[in-house]
Each structure stands twice: as structure tokens, then as C-alpha cells.
């Protein structure tokens, strides 16, 4: 183990170096708006990635566009589902009528001992008419079912994109509000002056306490009971010095962050942005994605549906408000 007490000839030097290693905070200019004090860098805080390539204004426009597209597609899906449901009910009624007419003409036929009465002919005609109508309805259902599923998938995809856009907008807005609040706080020059005066003492105390942490220093081969203060830094290897300096910095930032947060009233309600409410999902919007969206399976399913469809609308037609036939 490294024992700094045995290095007597370095005592004065250690004392001096221990003093020079104390955290000193020279006077620095106030932070620029939205930034940090010149010359300082962040080791633990980083802005969200999205802050580097877009703005709230651009994201808001994207959200509004996605929301409009979602409303249009959902409306088309609502109409298609309603029509499909109507067709299925109509088909069920026609099938019952066809079955009844079939039974009625047969009964009249045998009761008349094979006589093709007017009643029999009318029942046969009714059955034939009903059967033709049912066949037409079945054909309509076969055409509309894949298109309805296609609409459902596109509505699902748009909603997914809308929710993701809202999440990014909230993330960026929260970041911007945080920076704005910190900027506003930093403009309080009296408060900043007081903090600039006392924070260095806190940082020095944490650095000293860290160097006197017996458990931590034991991992570096140092017996912390042999000496108090930061003089150990003079006898540590380069790697151990870097490790200890990082630990000191981490504890300093943790203490400041904890102290800062203790003065902030915590609002448990999620942050909201007016105008970004996403409508409740309708029952017939549910698309079975297997529990997760697959960027590979999804387009394959769409392609399979399009192969069944009699006509595949373009994206312009899909997002058009024109409902004319």
C-alpha cells in the first residue's frame, strides 16, 4: 500500500500541493442566454438530441400536419367501417330472406301437387332476386374489407407518428423551458454573486471529504487515516488521480444538484402543451401489431392488402378532404 506518511521529505510539498489542488472559482462572466458560463463544460448534462436539428416552431408545424392527416384518415376509416358494417347487416338480412323464400316456394309447390301457381312463381322470383342482391353485397364486402384494413393500417401509422411527434415536442419544449428558467435565475445578479462566493467552499469541502473517504481511498491503496486533506493527490498515479478527480467532481455535482432540487416544488402532473391533445383511439382503429410495430412486417402486410384491392388510393387521395365520388 502507498503510505504518504513515510514520505517525510514530501510533507511540505504535499501540504503546498494540497493547497493548490483546492477548488478555486475565478470570477467569470454571467452565462449567455440559453448557454453556460464561458470556459465551463458539461460532464453530466446534455440537451436532447432533437435540440440540435430542429425547433419548437418546426415541430409544432409537423404535429399540426400529422394531426390533420390523422383526422382525415380516421374519418375515412370511420365511414368505411360504417359502410362495411351496414353491408354485412344487409347481407345477413338478405340471406334470411333467401332462405325463407326458398322454403316457401317449395312448400307451396308440394302442397299444390306440383302445380306452378302464381304464388310459387313469385316466391321463386323473390328467391332469385334476393340471391342476386346477396351476391352483389358479398362482392362489395370482398372489395371493401381489404381497403378498410388498409385504411386502418394507415390510420394506425399516422397516429403512431403523431404520438411520437408529440413526445419529441414535449421533450424539446421541456428542455427549452428549463434553459429559460435557468437563464432567468442567472439574471438575478445578487443571488448569483452570493452563490459565487459560497459555492467554492462547498466544493472544497466535498473534495476534502472525498479524499478522506476511507473506503474509496483504500481502493487506491491509500490509508486515509494517515493524513487529512487533499495531499494524497500528490502521491497517486496518473490513472488513480484521474479516477479520484472524477469521483470528486461527481460528488460535487450531485450535492449541488440535490441542494438545487430540494428548493424546487415538484409538480407530479405531466407537462402539457395546449393544442397537442391526441384524440382517444376508437375501437375500430385497433390494428393487431403483435404488441410492437415492425418496420419490416408492416409494409409487407400493406403490399399484400394492395394486391387484394380493386383500387389503391394515392397518399394525396388518402389525405384529401374531398369526399366526392
| Cβ atoms of 245 and 211 closer than 8 Å | no
Average pLDDT over residues 213-227: 83
pTM of the predicted structure, to 2 decimals: 0.73
Which long-range contacts link 38-42 to residues 24+ away (Cβ below 8 Å)?
none
Q: What is the mean pLDDT of residues 72-91?
A: 95
Residue 26 has pLDDT above 80, yes or no: no
With contact defined as beta carbons under 8 Å apart, do 14 and 4 qualify? yes
- 3-state SS assignment for residue 131: helix
DSSP string, 221-271: TB-GGG--SSGGGGTS-HHHHHHHHHHHHHHHHHHHHHHHHTTSPP--SPP
- d(CA 253, CA 238) in angstroms, rounded, equals 22
Higher pLDDT, 268 or 318: 318
Q: 282-295 pLDDT, tens per residue?
A: 888 877 665 567 88
Instruction: Judge whether residue 13 has pLDDT over 60.
Output: no
pLDDT at position 152, please?
92
Would the pLDDT of 45 be above 90? no
Contact indicator for 74, 282 with CB cutoff of 8 Å = yes
Q: Which three cell numbers stand for residue 96?
A: 334470411
As a whole-number percent, the residues of the chain with pLDDT over 70 amount to 85
SS3 percent helix, strand, coil of the chain, rounded to 5, is 70, 0, 30
Q: What is the pLDDT of residue 289?
A: 61
Q: For all residues of the chain together, what is the average pLDDT? A: 82
Domain boundaries of the chain, sorted by first residue: 8-30+189-266, 54-186+290-325
Angle formed by the axes of helices 297-308 and 118-186, nearest 10°: 150
b or e along 161-179 (b: 16 or more beta carbons within 10 Å of the residue's beta carbon)?
Answer: ebeebbebbbbbbeebeeb
> Which SS3 state, helix, strand or coil, does residue 254 take?
helix
Strand-pairing partners, residue 2, are 222
Per-residue confidence band for 10, with pLDDT thresholds at 50, 70 and 90:
very low
Amino acid at each position: 500500500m502507498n503510505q504518504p506518511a513515510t514520505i517525510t521529505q514530501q510533507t511540505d510539498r504535499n501540504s503546498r500541493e494540497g493547497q493548490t489542488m483546492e477548488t478555486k472559482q475565478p470570477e467569470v462572466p454571467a452565462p449567455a442566454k440559453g448557454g453556460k458560463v464561458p470556459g465551463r463544460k458539461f460532464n453530466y448534462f446534455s440537451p436532447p438530441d432533437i435540440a440540435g436539428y430542429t425547433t419548437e416552431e418546426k415541430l409544432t408545424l409537423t404535429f399540426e400536419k400529422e394531426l390533420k392527416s390523422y383526422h382525415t384518415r380516421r374519418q375515412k376509416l370511420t365511414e368505411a367501417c360504417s359502410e362495411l358494417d351496414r353491408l354485412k347487416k344487409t347481407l345477413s338480412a338478405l340471406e334470411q330472406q333467401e332462405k325463407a323464400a326458398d322454403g316457401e316456394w317449395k312448400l307451396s309447390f308440394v302442397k299444390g301437387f306440383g302445380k306452378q301457381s302464381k304464388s310459387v312463381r313469385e316466391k321463386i322470383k323473390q328467391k332469385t332476386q334476393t340471391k342476386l342482391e346477396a351476391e352483389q353485397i358479398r362482392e362489395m364486402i370482398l372489395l371493401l374489407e381489404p381497403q378498410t384494413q388498409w385504411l386502418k393500417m394507415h390510420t394506425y401509422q399516422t397516429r403512431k407518428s403523431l404520438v411520437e411527434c408529440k413526445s419529441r415536442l414535449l421533450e424539446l419544449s421541456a428542455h427549452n423551458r428549463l434553459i429559460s428558467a435557468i437563464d432567468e435565475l442567472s439574471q438575478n445578479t445578487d443571488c448569483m454573486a452570493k452563490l459565487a462566493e459560497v459555492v467554492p467552499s462547498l466544493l472544497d469541502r466535498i473534495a476534502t471529504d472525498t479524499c478522506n473517504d476511507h473506503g474509496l481511498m483504500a481502493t487506491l491503496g491509500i490509508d486515509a487515516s494517515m493524513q487529512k486533506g487533499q495531499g494524497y493527490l500528490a502521491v497517486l498515479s496518473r490513472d488513480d488521480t484521474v479516477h479520484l478527480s472524477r469521483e470528486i467532481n461527481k460528488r460535487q455535482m450531485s450535492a449541488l444538484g440535490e441542494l438545487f432540487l430540494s428548493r424546487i416544488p415538484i409538480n407530479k402532473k405531466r407537462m402539457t402543451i395546449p393544442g397537442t391533445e391526441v384524440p382517444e383511439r376508437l375501437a375500430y382503429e385497433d390494428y393487431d401489431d403483435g404488441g410492437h410495430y415492425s418496420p419490416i412486417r408492416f409494409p409487407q402486410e400493406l403490399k399484400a392488402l394492395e394486391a387484394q384491392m380493386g383500387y389503391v388510393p394515392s397518399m394525396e387521395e388518402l389525405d384529401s378532404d374531398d369526399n366526392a365520388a
